[in-house]
Amino acid sequence: MKSSINKNPVVLITGASQGIGAAIARVFAGELPGARLALVARNEKNLRTVARDCIKLGAAVEIFPCDVSEEASVAAMAKAVTKHFGPVAVLINNAGKFFGASFLDLTLADFDAQIAANLRSVFLVSKAFVPAMIKRGRGDVFNMSSIAGRQAYPNGAAYCAAKFGVTGLSAVMRTELKDKGVRVCCIHPGATWTPSWSKSGVKAERIMPAADIARAILDVYRLSRNTVVEEIVLRPQLGDV
């Protein structure tokens, strides 16, 4: 059986400037020898900090500041990534944002912003990189949904709608790409420690560490090409917060 791992794979991570995205970058840098990381986010300063950490861990790293909800920005980023690294082997669509509001209180602007950040971004970035995977006959796409993409909850009208969309889009992508050598996995994390929890008052031990989400993705990538993990559901051991 052939190894499931490309030599020196190019791994592109969106939303890599903090939280789960930064954890994914650091875990891949430290635990996947030869990885070449393309780190994408809007915050260039934070991206540089994450990049320095990954370089210390032995990875080749370049940053690509980009608003992944904007078509022109994604097109320019994709061109720059391909020119610098060549084709992307692993695409991790992690970028997103959360704003809580009930259906009745939610404004159209806030709804559109969350759809753009969480769902439109997955569509745009995948459209930019998946065709080259199909041409090579090999690739891995990880789309970051959420527990909110499996079950609804109050004050999550826009976020749940966006994440349910990611779940559905991932299923369609998987169905269309499975005979083309491209695996698609949808990730559904529950409460995960990120900067957004820092002022919540919830104790860190009640929340999953972001590095655990990152290692789950890496472990799935390492499986043989005979296997696809369609979805991963991760929850805090003590239950959702």
Alpha-carbon distance of 230 to 68, in angstroms, equals 24
Confidence of residue 61 (pLDDT cuts 50, 70, 90): very high
Q: What is the CATH number of domain 10-234?
A: 3.40.50.720
User: How far apart are alpha carbons 203 and 217 in whole angstroms?
Assistant: 25
CA pair distance 23, 66, nearest whole angstrom = 19
The two structure tokens encoding residue 12 = 């592109």
pLDDT at 2: 46
Active site residue 159: yes
pLDDT in tens, 74-109: 999 999 999 999 999 999 999 998 888 999 999 999
In the set 28, 159, 164, 193, the catalytic residue is 159
- pLDDT, position 239: 77
pLDDT band at 5 (very low <50, low <70, confident <90, very high): low
Cα separation, 81 vs 37, in Å, equals 10
pLDDT over 80 (residue 1): no
Domain residues of the chain, as ranges?
A: 10-234
Q: How confident is the model over 44-62, as a mean pLDDT?
A: 97
Burial 27-41 (b: 16+ CB within 10 A, else e): bbbbebeebbbbbbb
- The whole model's pTM is what? 0.94
**CA distances for 189 relative to 59, 86, 149, 186, 213, angstroms:** 26, 30, 10, 10, 7
